[in-house]
């Protein structure tokens, strides 16, 4: 072997590390994605089911038909709501544990992670017990005379949103907690030393330095809620349709495979665009991180 080929071999050997991942991802993820995109260009036919074609008709329909537009509006609205509420709930909690839960921090982080290990189905049934007309929450509120008639939460948008906020809260807490615990104690002290009140320290130091965490928190919860299937299906209302169950219905009930593929591609494009946009947003909001 000549020295030249040995050197070029050495240059390629690091790529061996990604071979196992590539072996799984290429045939089982990337290839189906390509097929999905190809299917979205086909045509659905009531008699012949999916007809091979090369048309944008499904995209035009998905982006102009009021039925589909309502679907997107519902989904994006619900996902936005979940992302913002989960992040708002997570922010003070993350601040608290990053600053004050020094010795119990392992336990607290474990408690935050814990629900992620419990099957989402189990958690959904838990919420059904809590939210039902005769459930825990209503029983309590009725007993305390806060209500005369039970609140209808289950099988409504309300119940679905509550379940989603709960489901995605850990994904909001962890990036925020991570961002905040990286802020050195000395910066808090420096800010106070220069005359900032405790709330000034949060406004001037903690908040700007946690912006990357906020963006990741919004991103994860938004993407999660946007593509959620189980919660809209089990806790939600048939009058408030969400994208993921709708794709399932297109493919199974309506046998419109091409339309289902189209909606799936649109969801994917939307999430990719969102990730790109938030990456750009972080860069703009945190110029100090990339300054050289």
Partner 1 sequence: MAHVLSVEAVSKSFKGVAAVRRCSLELKQGEIVALLGPSGCGKTTLLNMIAGFEVPDEGRIELGGRDITRLPAHQRRAGMVFQAYALFPHMTVRDNILYGPRVQGEKPGVAQSRASEVADLLRIGNLLDRYPSQLSGGQRQRVAVARALATRPEILLLDEAFSALDRNLREEMQIELSLLLRRLGISTILVTHDQREAFALADRIAVMEAGRISQIDAPEAVYRTPKTPFVFEFLGSSNHLAATVGEQDGTPALLAAGGKLALTKMPVAQPAGSALTIGIRAEGIRLATAPTRAHRESPAVVRLVTFLGQTIRMVAEMGDISIISEVAAVSYETCPRVGDAVFLDIDETGVHVLDNAVAA
What residues make contact with partner 1 under the rule CB under 8 A?
184, 186-187, 189-198, 200, 204-205, 208-209, 286-288, 291-292
Q: Which is nearer to partner 1, 139 or 192 (CB)?
A: 192
- Round to whole Å and give the CA distance between 232 and 163: 9
User: What gap in Å lies between CA 123 and CA 93, rounded to an integer?
Assistant: 21
- Give least dist CB 219 to partner 1, A: 20
Provide, rounded to whole angstroms, the least separation between the CB of residue 79 and partner 1: 29
Query: Shortest gap between Cβ of 195 and partner 1 (angstroms)?
Result: 4
Placement of tokens 């000034």 in the chain: 200
Nearer to partner 1, 31 or 194 (CB): 194
CA-CA distances (angstroms) from residue 125 to 48, 130, 164, 235, 287?
40, 9, 13, 9, 45
User: What's the gap between Cα 5 and its chain centre?
Assistant: 46
* C-beta of 91 vs 155, nearer to partner 1: 91
Residue 27 or 184: the one with the smaller Cβ distance to partner 1 is 184
241, two tokens: 């349709």
Backbone phi, then psi, for 50, in 5-degree steps?
A: -90, 125
| Residue given tokens 């992670």 in the structure block | 113
Tokens 């839960």 -> residue: 101
CA dist 259 and 241 (Å) reads 16
Comparing CB distances to partner 1, the nearer of 200 and 279 is 200
Q: Cβ closer to partner 1: 52 or 198?
A: 198
Whole-number minimum distance, CB 275 to partner 1, in Å? 23
Give me the least distance between CB of 289 and partner 1, in Å please: 8
We find the least distance from the C-beta atom of residue 183 to partner 1, in angstroms, to be 9
Q: Are 109 and 101 in contact (CB under 8 A)?
A: no
């Amino acid at each position: 072997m000549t020295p030249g080929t040995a050197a070029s071999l050495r240059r390629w050997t690091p790529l061996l590390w990604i071979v196992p991942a590539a072996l799984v991802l290429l045939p089982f993820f990337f290839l189906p994605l390509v097929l999905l995109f190809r299917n979205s260009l086909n045509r659905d036919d009531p008699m012949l089911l999916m007809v091979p074609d090369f048309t944008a008709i499904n995209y035009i329909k998905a982006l102009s038909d009021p039925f589909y537009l309502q679907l997107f509006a519902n989904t994006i609205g619900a996902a936005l709501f979940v992302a913002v509420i989960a992040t708002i709930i997570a922010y003070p909690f993350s601040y608290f544990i990053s600053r004050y839960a020094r010795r119990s921090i392992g336990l607290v982080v474990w408690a935050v992670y814990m629900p992620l290990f419990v099957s989402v189905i189990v958690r959904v049934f838990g919420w059904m017990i809590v939210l039902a007309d005769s459930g825990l929450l209503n029983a309590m509120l009725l007993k305390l005379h806060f209500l005369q008639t039970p609140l209808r939460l289950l099988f409504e948008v309300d119940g679905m949103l509550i379940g989603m906020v709960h489901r995605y809260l850990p994904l909001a807490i962890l990036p925020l907690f991570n961002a905040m615990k990286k802020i050195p104690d000395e910066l808090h002290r420096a800010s106070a030393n220069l005359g900032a009140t405790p709330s000034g320290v949060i406004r001037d130091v903690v908040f700007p330095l946690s912006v990357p965490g906020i963006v990741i928190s919004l991103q994860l919860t938004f993407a999660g809620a946007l593509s959620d299937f189980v919660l809209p299906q089990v806790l939600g209302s048939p009058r408030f349709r969400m994208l993921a169950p709708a794709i399932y219905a297109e493919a199974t009930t309506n046998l419109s495979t091409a339309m289902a593929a189209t909606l799936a591609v649109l969801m994917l494009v939307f999430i990719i665009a969102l990730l790109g946009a938030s990456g750009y947003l972080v860069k703009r909001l945190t110029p100090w991180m990339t300054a050289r």
